[in-house]
Amino acid sequence: MSTYKLLLLPGDGIGPEVMAEVEKVVGWLGKTGLASFETEHGHVGGSAIDAHGKPLSDETLARADAADAILLGAVGGPKWNGIAYDLRPEAGLLRLRKDLGLFANLRPAICYPALADASALKRELVEGLDIMIVRELTGGVYFGEPKEITALPDGSKRAVDTQVYTTGEIERIAHVAFDLARKRSGRVASAEKNNVMKTGVLWKEVVTKVHAEHYADVELEHVLADNCAMQLVRRPKQFDVLVTDNLFGDVLSDVAAMLTGSLGMLPSASLGAVDARGTRKALYEPVHGSAPDIAGKGFANPIAMIGSLAMCLRYSFGLGEAADLVEGAITKALASGARTRDIAAEGQETISTAQMGDAILRELETARGV
Ligand code: NAD
């Protein structure tokens, strides 16, 4: 069996707490022989600023480049709030995504039956929900130049961010969405704002062309991003694969997050282009941030992080059976009533981060008959 090199970057706040639970699952997979890993640890974000004076050292970047996959916890926190913009913790994560060319961000929003009542919407609207948001991650307004704040003669200031997309950037993310749709229900919705943005006009044109030339078997619908936000809370189950740009993807995936009950439930994958060997750079991380309000208290839900490992098994290593086992164990732990604070109903008993990790491990062991 191949041994996969995993770089673990726990980061800040609750990052190390949820990463510790993933390490239990990684250890278990190795022990049972389902997968074999060589794990290394590194710093990113605030912890890297403390250790190396910058949010991502060149050495950590080189190790990330050499790894088969990267698992990241979360970055940021009030401790580093006053720091220069280019040195803030988030800059480390942005550099990782940009330098490794991780242009495709996959964010599944799944509503587990046991959690349908934890959603902000009525049970019938979300029960069985399974959306895959495909967000473009290395272009658009977060990276476009100019990006600056300049002083004006009257003493006020002017801030500029630039939304920019090229045909190639849109084509490659469209391919990712259509390919995924073929493995799911065969439907893609593409969200932009072609009514007011030139990037939206080009986005729609390119997605339409890629669809017509390569994916006639997939159903394509265009939706304006603002209407998409409304539809996500009105009738979310109408969507299957939803492809959109960096900024709209950031916002729409957080809307989808609340449909599932908690940010603590959502994993994500960030993928690069497939290389000549058929492999691709990949980083897996929960959608949530470092949650400084609950850090160090044992309240964090580790499911988004453990779900990110399951995505890693599936998308980087082709270990579908192991991924199914991990996802199944999460479903069963929830069905058995295991709840961290963020997903508990009023009055329901809650367990800690480590206890949730242990509950998932127990379900894994039961599933393997250990
Ligand atoms: P956040 O996701 O950290 O927290 C939002 C809310 O969700 C908080 O109430 C938090 O307690 C709760 N929450 C988040 N994850 C949870 C979990 N696993 N279990 C239980 N509850 C959970 O977002 P924020 O408060 O806006 O940001 C805090 C810091 O995280 C900021 O510095 C921000 O820049 C950073 N951030 C980092 C990332 C990342 O690393 N990818 C993403 C978003 C925010």
Task: State the Cα–Cα distance between residues 116 and 111, nearest whole angstrom.
Answer: 6
Task: State the Cα–Cα distance between residues 129 and 121, nearest whole angstrom.
Answer: 12
Mark whether 218 and 322 lie in a shared domain.
no
Domain final residue pick, 262, 290, 317: 262
Could you identify the atom of ligand 1 that is nearest to the CA of residue 292?
Answer: 28
Mark whether 137 and 246 lie in a shared domain.
yes
Q: Which residue out of 56, 105, 288, 308 has the highest number of ligand 1 atoms within 8 Å of its CB and is therefore the one to mutate?
A: 288
pLDDT tens readout for residues 61-71: 999 999 999 99
Q: Which residues contact 206 (CB under 8 A, 6 or more apart)?
A: 167, 170, 171, 174
Structure-token pair, residue 342: 């963020």
Helix residue ranges per DSSP H, the chain = 15-32, 46-52, 58-66, 89-99, 123-126, 167-183, 198-214, 225-234, 246-259, 303-315, 320-335, 353-367
Q: Which residues contact 318 (CB under 8 A, 6 or more apart)?
A: none
CA 216–ligand 1 middle distance (angstroms): 40
Would 16 be classed as within a structural domain?
Answer: yes
Q: Is 360 in the pocket of ligand 1 (CB under 6 A)?
A: no
Could you identify the atom of ligand 1 that is nearest to the CA of residue 11?
Answer: 40
Q: Are 232 and 259 in contact (CB under 8 A)?
A: yes
Helix (H) or strand (E) holding 220, with range, is: strand 219-224
Mark whether 97 and 115 lie in a shared domain.
no
Mark whether 255 and 367 lie in a shared domain.
no
Q: Is 290 in the pocket of ligand 1 (CB under 6 A)?
A: yes
Domain final residue pick, 228, 262, 296: 262
pLDDT at 149: 97
Mark whether 293 and 230 lie in a shared domain.
no
What residues make up the domain containing 134?
109-262
pLDDT tens readout for residues 92-109: 999 999 999 999 999 999
Q: Which residues contact 250 (CB under 8 A, 6 or more apart)?
A: 135
pLDDT at 118: 78
Q: Is 60 in the pocket of ligand 1 (CB under 6 A)?
A: no
Dihedral (CA of 18, 21, 25, 31) sign: positive
Instruction: Express as a percent the part of the chain with pLDDT over 70.
Output: 100
The number of domains in the chain is 2
Task: State the Cα–Cα distance between residues 231 and 224, nearest whole angstrom.
Answer: 10
Mark whether 93 and 147 lie in a shared domain.
no
- What average pLDDT does this structure show over 326-340? 95
Q: Is 9 in the pocket of ligand 1 (CB under 6 A)?
A: no
| CATH code for the domain in which residue 236 is found | 3.40.718.10
Sheet holding 187-192, edge to edge: 36-41, 3-11, 69-74, 282-286, 267-271, 104-110, 130-136, 241-244, 187-192, 219-224
Is 86 labelled a binding residue?
A: yes
Q: Is 72 in the pocket of ligand 1 (CB under 6 A)?
A: no
Strands 3-11 and 69-74: parallel
Q: Is 75 in the pocket of ligand 1 (CB under 6 A)?
A: yes
Instruction: Express as a percent the part of the chain with pLDDT over 90.
Output: 86
Task: State the Cα–Cα distance between residues 130 and 106, nearest whole angstrom.
Answer: 13
Mark whether 245 and 283 lie in a shared domain.
no
Comparing CA positions, the residue from 141, 137, 123, 132 lying closest to residue 200 is: 141
Would 32 be classed as within a structural domain?
Answer: yes
Would 267 be classed as within a structural domain?
Answer: no
pLDDT at 256: 87
Task: State the Cα–Cα distance between residues 139 and 274, nearest whole angstrom.
Answer: 18
Q: Which residues contact 142 (CB under 8 A, 6 or more apart)?
A: 94, 161, 246, 247
Say if residue 88's pLDDT is above 80.
Answer: yes
Neighbours of 231 (CB within 10 A): 17
Mark whether 82 and 117 lie in a shared domain.
no
Could you identify the atom of ligand 1 that is nearest to the CA of residue 73?
Answer: 40
Q: Is 206 in the pocket of ligand 1 (CB under 6 A)?
A: no
Task: State the Cα–Cα distance between residues 51 and 146, nearest whole angstrom.
Answer: 31
Instruction: Report in angstroms the alpha-carbon separations of 237 from 30, 123, 127.
Output: 37, 12, 9
pLDDT tens readout for residues 234-282: 999 999 999 999 999 999 998 888 888 788 998 999 999 988 888 899 9
pLDDT at 14: 98
Q: Is 101 in the pocket of ligand 1 (CB under 6 A)?
A: no
Say if residue 161's pLDDT is above 70.
Answer: yes
pLDDT at 370: 60
pLDDT at 112: 85
Mark whether 280 and 256 lie in a shared domain.
no
CA 21–ligand 1 middle distance (angstroms): 18
Q: Are 113 and 54 in contact (CB under 8 A)?
A: no
**What is the chain's Cα-based Rg?**
20
Mark whether 82 and 157 lie in a shared domain.
no
Q: Which residue out of 290, 351, 355 has the highest number of ligand 1 atoms within 8 Å of its CB and is therefore the one to mutate?
A: 290
CA 369–ligand 1 middle distance (angstroms): 36
Helix residue ranges per DSSP H, 107-197 = 123-126, 167-183
CA 368–ligand 1 middle distance (angstroms): 34
Could you identify the atom of ligand 1 that is nearest to the CA of residue 303?
Answer: 18
Instruction: Report in angstroms the alpha-carbon separations of 256 from 22, 119, 135.
Output: 24, 10, 13
pLDDT tens readout for residues 182-223: 989 999 999 999 999 999 999 999 999 999 999 999 999 999
pLDDT at 311: 95
Task: State the Cα–Cα distance between residues 249 and 270, nearest whole angstrom.
Answer: 13
Could you identify the atom of ligand 1 that is nearest to the CA of residue 80?
Answer: 32
pLDDT tens readout for residues 71-83: 999 999 999 999 9
Q: Is 93 in the pocket of ligand 1 (CB under 6 A)?
A: yes
Mark whether 285 and 335 lie in a shared domain.
yes
Q: Is 173 helix (H, G, I), strand (E, B) or coil?
A: helix
Domain final residue pick, 214, 242, 262: 262
Q: Which residues contact 2 (CB under 8 A, 6 or more apart)?
A: 36, 317
Q: Is the pTM of this model over 0.75?
A: yes
Would 14 be classed as within a structural domain?
Answer: yes
Query: Active-site residue numbers?
Result: 142, 193, 226, 250, 254
CA 212–ligand 1 middle distance (angstroms): 39
Is 81 labelled a binding residue?
A: yes
Structure letter (DSSP) for residue 277:
T
Q: Is 199 in the pocket of ligand 1 (CB under 6 A)?
A: no
CA 175–ligand 1 middle distance (angstroms): 30
Mark whether 124 and 99 lie in a shared domain.
no
Task: State the Cα–Cα distance between residues 65 and 69, nearest whole angstrom.
Answer: 9
Structure-token pair, residue 83: 């720091």
Would 342 be classed as within a structural domain?
Answer: yes
CA 253–ligand 1 middle distance (angstroms): 14
Could you identify the atom of ligand 1 that is nearest to the CA of residue 286?
Answer: 41
pLDDT tens readout for residues 107-155: 999 988 888 887 888 999 998 899 999 999 999 999 999 999 999 999 9
Q: Are 227 and 255 in contact (CB under 8 A)?
A: no
